[in-house]
Amino acid sequence: MLSVLSSLFVVGVVRITFESDQLFYIRLQQLMGLFSLLFWYVALIISPLTYIFGKQKLRHLVYARRAIGVSAAYFAILHLCIALWGQLGGPSELVRLPELIQTSLLLGAVATVVLLVMAATSFDAVVRRMTYSRWKLLHRLTYIAFILVVLHMWMIGTHVTYSLAQIIALSALLLLAGLESYRFLMNLDKKWHFIEGKGGAVLLVAVLLAMWFAVIVSIPRSIDNYHSKHHGGAHGE
Ligand code: HEM
């Protein structure tokens, strides 16, 4: 309910703020894309955080996780519709767009489909029918889709060319990667008992984190951002 009400509020505020329809649609779809990303990030980080703080302390967040995931899907749909029909002129215009933008939209579209499947299977009845282990397997797709959306955002996002946005994105991605690495190692250790004490765990997480850092900072070097390529970055940086 909060997501639906805040989306209506945002439409009103952006309409009042931007007179030109073009700016109204661009700013609105950017905001809806950002909200979808933020809800998705929170939905992803809850599980690994329970390995640090315990499920009991985070029980309200754990309980709300599915609703947070469904909100991510809701804002992704709003983002897609406003971008496609408000900014890009409808599906028939997609063929005229530069290849980099088409590829980015395809990655975004695949991520949207995955988010919708996650949202549609977020009900107890569906989990029971699918069995928990198959449901869990299906919901692992969310990690692949999240990587696709990070690439989507890097390839055509405007604000990702700001240095501050890049520092925030890098820190947030490293935090998530570090926590997921810790959870992964703890689950492996339950089976193989190879980690020597807290020091051993910290060392292994640090190694994995260095690997993730190298992967994340290689994105701008190996994949173009449309605005940097054509306009020398949103601010001529
Ligand atoms: C789960 C799916 C998606 C998420 C979370 C998402 C998120 C985002 C974010 C955060 C940005 C950067 C905005 C900025 O720089 O201010 C962006 C850019 C963009 N997205 Fe998506 N997106 C998704 C799917 C799609 C789809 C399916 C389409 C269209 C068919 C689309 C169209 C666009 C466009 C046109 C931009 C460029 C906006 C600009 O000019 O800065 N996105 N997206």
Write out pLDDT tens, residues 54-67: 989 999 999 999 99
Instruction: Confirm or reject: Cβ of 31 under 6 Å from ligand 1.
Output: no
pTM given for the model: 0.92
Instruction: Confirm or reject: Cβ of 112 under 6 Å from ligand 1.
Output: yes
Q: How far apart are CA 128 and CA 114, in angstroms?
A: 20
Structure tokens at 61: 């967040």
Q: Are residues 195 and 98 in the same domain?
A: no
Instruction: Confirm or reject: Cβ of 130 under 6 Å from ligand 1.
Output: no
Residue 154, pLDDT score: 94
Structure tokens at 2: 């909060």
Q: Are residues 16 and 32 in the same domain?
A: yes
What is the 84 CA–ligand 1 centroid distance (Å)? Answer: 10
pLDDT tens-digit series, residues 168-201: 999 999 999 999 999 988 888 888 887 777 778 8
| Residue numbers in the chain where pLDDT is lower than 50 | 235-237
Q: Are residues 132 and 51 in the same domain?
A: yes
What is the atom index within ligand 1 of the atom nearest the CA of 26? 40
Residue 131, pLDDT score: 86
Q: Are residues 213 and 151 in the same domain?
A: no
Among 156, 171, 202, where does a domain finish? 156
**How many structural domains compose the chain?**
2
CB distance 25 to 86 below 8 Å: yes
| Chain centroid to CA 187 | 24
